[in-house]
Amino acid sequence: MPPTFSLPASRTEVVLEEIRRGILTRELLPGQPLVEAELAQRLGVSKTPVREALKVLSNSGLVTFSPYRGASVCVVDGALARSVYDVRMVLEPEALRRSVAAGAPELFEEAAEALRQAQAALPDKDHTSLSLLNRRFHRALYAGCGNPLMVSMLDDLRDRAALISVVGWEANPSWRKEWSEHKAVLTAARKGDADGAAELLRKHIGAFLDRVVAAIGEEEA
């Protein structure tokens, strides 16, 4: 019997989160075809919510569609990593600078809590949990920037960035280094050093990109 799920909101939302989890845990591997009928049977739902979930995940960058092959899990290569992280390096430090200048202590407390949970998760080397906490940490830094469009643009990159993080850590498990860099960024932000925090964040994003590209190469495997 296929597993069934309690569906409090909508079938599409539940299916969406389950497929996202499968991709980020590498249960669904890069390049793997995502067949609607197979996923529907596995998740205990009809094909309609699966189809809708795949469309959403395509928009967020975790799924790609081909006219001949249909849907498949996105493959991370150096070109994708550069395109995502180049945008982050332009927008995210500026968003953080504005968040610090505006004063958003409750958001920085959210970042601190994500950092505490990440520290506790480090010994388990759980890439998926660390990636989601990384995503939570970064969003807490830029969410108070006062520009909803900037927040939305950065939010749209979160799934791609999470996938790149997981792939990068598999090739080069540098999460302890990232944790230390996060701590330095948060310390500067809490002190009200907007320019210093922004520069530390820019260097952090750039350094991780360099490590990922060095580990996985510039071209698609």
Residues 39-62: what's their mean pLDDT? 93
**pLDDT of the residue at 84:** 95
**pLDDT of the residue at 72:** 95
CATH numbers and ranges of domains, the chain: 11-73 (1.10.10.10), 78-216 (1.20.120.530)
Tell me which range, 50-64, 119-133, 154-168, is most confidently predicted by mean pLDDT. 50-64
Total-model pTM: 0.83
> What band does 8 get if pLDDT is binned at 50, 70 and 90?
very low
Read off the tokens for 62: 């975790």
Whether the predicted pLDDT of 7 surpasses 60: no
> What band does 207 get if pLDDT is binned at 50, 70 and 90?
very high
**pLDDT of the residue at 171:** 80
> What band does 3 get if pLDDT is binned at 50, 70 and 90?
low
Mean pLDDT, the chain, integer: 88
Helix or strand holding residue 22 (H, E): helix 11-24
Residues 161-184: what's their mean pLDDT? 87
Whether the predicted pLDDT of 211 surpasses 60: yes
> How deeply is 34 buried, as exposed, middle or buried, from its count of CB atoms within 10 A (0-12, 13-18, 19+)?
buried
**pLDDT of the residue at 103:** 81
Read off the tokens for 59: 């928009």
The region of weakest confidence among 97-101, 147-151, 171-175 is 171-175
Whether the predicted pLDDT of 1 surpasses 60: no
Residues 125-146: what's their mean pLDDT? 88
Q: What is the C-alpha R_g of the chain?
A: 18
The answer to whether 74 and 162 are in contact (CB under 8 A) is: no
At 77 the three-state DSSP class reads coil
Whether the predicted pLDDT of 79 surpasses 80: yes
Helix or strand holding residue 195 (H, E): helix 194-216
